[in-house]
Chains A and B, each alone.
Chain A
Amino acid sequence: MAYAITLPGGAALADNLPTREEMWQVIQAQQAQIEALTQKVENTDEKVEATGEVVETIAESAGSGSTPGWWDRTSVGGYGELHYNGGDAAEVDLHRFVLFFDHEFTDDIRFVSEFELEHALSGEGKNGAAEVEQALLEFDVAEFHQLRAGLQLIPVGILNETHEPNTFYGTERNQIETNIIPTTWWEAGVGVNGELGGGFSYDLMYHSGLQVAATGASAFNIRSGRQKVSQARATDGATTGRVRWSGLPGLSVSTTAQYQEDITQGTGEETPAVLVEGNVDATYAMGPGSIGFRALAAFWDLDSSAAAALGRDEQYGWYVEPSYKFDTEWGDLGFFAQYAEWDNSAGDNTDSVFSQTRLGANFWPTPDTVIKLDYQLDNAPTAGAEDNRLNLGMGYQF
């Protein structure tokens, strides 16, 4: 059914309406206007965006309090640790106070340094020392490959390159990375490092070597052989290589080998030295926290009759360290146990094996600050060398 409604005067209204052609012209004019306005809005947006970026730049510049300069490419960091050792030691010591200064010359060339004051005071007759532990130039030479030249840390062990106090358990560093791997161990040299794919990375370094004494109480003692690049004898360099695999979350497996043709550097019987080291560092989320496990083993072979005569042609050490860390309302809390065994005179039949068991806890109020408490139980070949004691420490990193 269809309806037709006719209004009075309908014919007159129809006469006043624009024609189709007129309507089309109006629509086209409006469309052109819309496009012009749209363009204008886009232009305005671009101007607002550009203005915003300029304002941000000015605000950032004002925030730094100055115009950009070389200092914008320089960064400062540091760490430190204060220790209390009970037992026979019974001492309190600002063990380390360290500052890092890094500077980027370009996006691809940078300077890295680490300056350390040990035991608070340095100078003649003082307990401590002021040491430069890193001063190197780093070049990004290819995608995923770098070259380093200068004074740098040897790529070995777990702690030698990463030893900020909030990164490890125990007030003092473990005995293996003290007596067998002489952490902190730095040398002057040239090295390359990078990635090999599949989670593998490598380090290869040619550098100044150790110089152990050939006679006396410290003969062929590895730790005493560090020259710390201080007018260091350089007749025999050493080569160090490391391969590391970290292809699974929370897991790192690493091995290092080093060769030095003569570890006496011509001051005694020629003694070729080989170091072989391996370690595992694992962390896995479990329950309310994460379980951790570290293990390391290192072995030195010093090939000379002079070293063999003292039983120091073979020196080894290893440790294992399980731990568990979890969140609390006040920060992270972690408990650990560590067993270490080492022998710096393993080449003879004399009992010269040391061992140490440590139990303790770390508390991190923030990830960069730590308070440490542990108890150590020593087992030495001679009773006088034991010092079972409580250790307490605090440390920070920034």
Chain B
Amino acid sequence: MRVFSLNLIILLAAILPVHAADVFLEPNVFLAEVFEGDVPSPSFLWLKGDVKETAKEILGRNMGGLRQRYWQADGRTVWIVEEIGKTRPITTGISVKDGAVERVQILIYRESHGWEVRYPFFTDQFQGMTLDAERETSSRVDGISGATLSVRAIVKLVRLSLAFDQLARDGS
């Protein structure tokens, strides 16, 4: 009992000041990188009609809010979107150019597990992907063991951004 208690105290004493959610890249920095410093004014996609139905079909739930902000210039739309992995939202920046994924970047990660989704080896798999007729990505991605829910959340956000890109360009 003595040894158990002592070791427990030593480990408890190692508690450091707590730290905020992991911010991998600030959203405004992501936008500046994508638009090379010349960030256009935001546009809005109103979450009604087809847009609302599309979001619900992809996310499997009603999307919160009344509108989705996005940035558009030079044939490119950029979306900063969130989806819950297991219990907490993952904030993700997705840029779509000419209907295909250009870049996926995890911006803020709040889940306890599944950090690996932020690595380029995972996010780079989405480059060039488009949306097929069933609103699925044009190819599969290799997942991450132990991070199934986070992977699934990112795939949903990519599908959502591609679908929103189509709708924005159609003038919804």
Contacts and interface: CB of A to CB of B under 8 A. Distances in A.
Contact of A285 (B8, B142, B146, B148): B142
Interface stretch (B12-20, B31-39, B99-107, B157-165): B12-20
Nearest to B42: A49
Given A60-B64, A77-B87, A140 B11 contact: no
A250 B20 contact: no
A88 interface: no
Interface string B1-41: 10110011001101111111110000000000000000000
B125 interface: yes
B125 A249 contact: yes
Nearest to B9: A190
8 contacts: A108-B18, A108-B20, A109-B18, A112-B112, A143-B19, A161-B146, A252-B145, A281-B146
A158 to B, nearest CB: 8
Interface in A316-356: none
B8 A189 contact: yes
Interface of A: 52, 55-56, 59-60, 63, 75, 77, 102, 104, 106-109, 112, 138-147, 149, 158, 161-162, 167, 189-192, 195, 199, 201, 206, 208, 234-237, 239, 246-252, 261, 281-285, 289-290, 367
A77 B86 contact: yes
B12 A247 contact: no
B140 to A, nearest CB: 4
B73 interface: no
Contacts, number: 122
A195 B144 contact: no
B19 A142 contact: yes
A56 B66 contact: yes
A197 to B, nearest CB: 10
A252 B146 contact: yes
B122 interface: yes
B148 to A, nearest CB: 6
Interface in B60-93: 64-67, 86-88
A75 B112 CA distance: 14
A63 B64 contact: yes
Contacts of B122: 249
A161 B145 CA distance: 12
Interface of B: 1, 3-4, 7-8, 11-12, 14-22, 44, 64-67, 86-88, 110, 112, 115-116, 119, 121-122, 125, 139-146, 148, 152
Nearest to A238: B4
B65 A237 contact: no
A249 B144 contact: yes
A252 B144 contact: yes
Given A143-B22, A144-B22, A56 B67 contact: yes
B137 to A, nearest CB: 11
A75 B110 CA distance: 14
Contacts of B140: 285, 289-290
Contacts of A235: 1, 4
Contact of B66 (A52, A145, A167, A261): A52
Nearest to A261: B3
Contacts of B19: 108, 140-143, 145
A367 B4 CA distance: 42
Contacts of A201: 115
A109 B21 CA distance: 10
A239 to B, nearest CB: 8
Contacts of A108: 18-21
Contact of B14 (A56, A147, A161): A147
Contacts of B18: 106, 108-109, 139-141
Nearest to B87: A75
Contact of A290 (B17, B66, B142, B148): B142
A164 to B, nearest CB: 9
